[in-house]
Amino acid sequence: MAPFKSTLARSVGKLLGVYREGDLSLRGATQNSRKIPPNFKTFTIYMMGGGATTKGGVQRGGYSESEITIPNAALGSYNRLEVIVGQGGPNSPSPDSGTSVFGGGGAGNNSSGNTNGSPGGGGSFVFLSSPGSTNVFASNGLSLQVPVSDADGRCLIVAGGAGGNDKVDGGGGGGGGGLTAPIYPSVPGGPAGAANVSRNGGGDAYIGKRGNPGTWSSGGGGGGYEGGFGLQDFDGSGGCGYVGHINPSQSQPFSGSSPVNPNFVYTGGYTIGNTPNNGSAPWGEYTVPSAGTPYIPGPSGGQNNPGTVTIIGPSGTTTFSYTGNIQYYPFS
């Protein structure tokens, strides 16, 4: 489905010279009016990563939201946003010779004598971009085309994808999203750590790891700021979200200059994911904050669905659905 664009917000902004500043916490949206600084660009983004199937059933990807303000001088030649919408992890087995899903989900492993695991969900990402710059993600969504440090310098926000199913006995995976992506923590021999914004959980930046090759089935990890991973005989773990900082203990919502990109100022940065229910599947679904409910699908129905990204900015409001391609939000 192609992006759906509304120029209403832009027209009202031009007419009145004001814009809507949302309180992006769980307290809901408030209405404030203030002048848009002429030497800044402001984006409000609501997004969800791709879901996947685990032993406990289908799990939707993580959720992230924030307002982000960037000085024009810091934008340089960037005049659009690169938008990656994470693909939902299909429930079909995927050998490790297969491909990861678009947006950075990892493939299931090619086990000997067992059913292959299924892929994790792709993360959803927004990066600074221009027609003359190299896209962060390759056009097939399987890899990065720039160094991780360059991707970090252009990254505005991330919503993590969910981990995939190991297809045999499950247990050990989880939904994506949050400063630390939730996993089932009590499985002997399971993941030593979860993907988190400090990137010390054992995953890779942006791309979810494939399921571990071996004699057992393993689900693929979800994409995220740190992608999730798949270990032998476990569901894949989800990828984590990102809203401007790299502190897993940061209180939310986060507001202030980004320690990663100090010129990026965040207001109401918030990222959440699914959590274990009594230490085992089924997983508890998060509640989308009220500011995001006009744009984010509810939890009913199958949640191995693709993600979604809504951007409210200088060019109006655009909601991006999954297309299997890199998409763009022009802002100048």
Q: What is the pLDDT of residues 187-229, one digit of tens each?
A: 555 555 689 999 998 889 999 988 877 777 888 889 999 999 8
Q: Is the pLDDT of residue 42 over 50?
A: yes
Residue scoring higher pLDDT (55 or 8): 55
Report the pLDDT value the prediction gives residue 252, as an integer from 0 to 100.
Answer: 96
Nearest to 44 by CA among 331, 320, 329, 312: 312
Read off the pLDDT of residues 276-310 as tens digits, 9 standing for 90 and up: 654 455 667 888 999 999 999 887 555 678 999 99
Mean pLDDT of the chain: 82
Q: Is the pLDDT of residue 185 over 80?
A: no
Q: For residues 62 and 307, is the Cβ–Cβ distance under 8 A?
A: no
Contacts of 121 (CB under 8 A, 6+ apart): 49, 50, 51, 52, 61, 86, 87, 88, 89, 101, 103, 105, 161, 162, 163, 164, 176, 222, 223, 238, 304, 307
Give SS3 for 312. Answer: strand
Report the pLDDT value the prediction gives residue 234, as an integer from 0 to 100.
Answer: 80
Residue scoring higher pLDDT (35 or 169): 169
Q: Is the peptide bond before 294 cis (omega within 30 degrees of 0)?
A: no
Read off the pLDDT of residues 135-179 as tens digits, 9 standing for 90 and up: 999 998 889 999 999 999 999 999 999 988 888 776 667 778 999
Report the pLDDT value the prediction gives residue 171, as an integer from 0 to 100.
Answer: 67
pTM (2 d.p.): 0.87
Domain ranges of the chain: 40-298
The mean pLDDT value for 53-76 works out to: 90
Q: For residues 266 and 155, is the Cβ–Cβ distance under 8 A?
A: no
Report the pLDDT value the prediction gives residue 16, as an integer from 0 to 100.
Answer: 30
Q: Provide the token pair at 70.
A: 């960037």
Q: For residues 51 and 127, is the Cβ–Cβ distance under 8 A?
A: no
Nearest to 133 by CA among 198, 80, 187: 80
Q: For residues 211 and 92, is the Cβ–Cβ distance under 8 A?
A: no
- Torsion over CA: 191, 194, 199, 200 (sign): negative
What element of type H or E holds 18?
A: strand 18-20
The mean pLDDT value for 258-282 works out to: 83
Q: Is the pLDDT of residue 312 over 90?
A: yes
Report the pLDDT value the prediction gives residue 19, as an integer from 0 to 100.
Answer: 36
Q: Is the pLDDT of residue 94 over 70?
A: yes
Residue scoring higher pLDDT (75 or 18): 75
Report the pLDDT value the prediction gives residue 41, as an integer from 0 to 100.
Answer: 97
- pLDDT band of residue 99 (cuts 50, 70, 90) is confident
Q: Is the pLDDT of residue 260 over 90?
A: yes
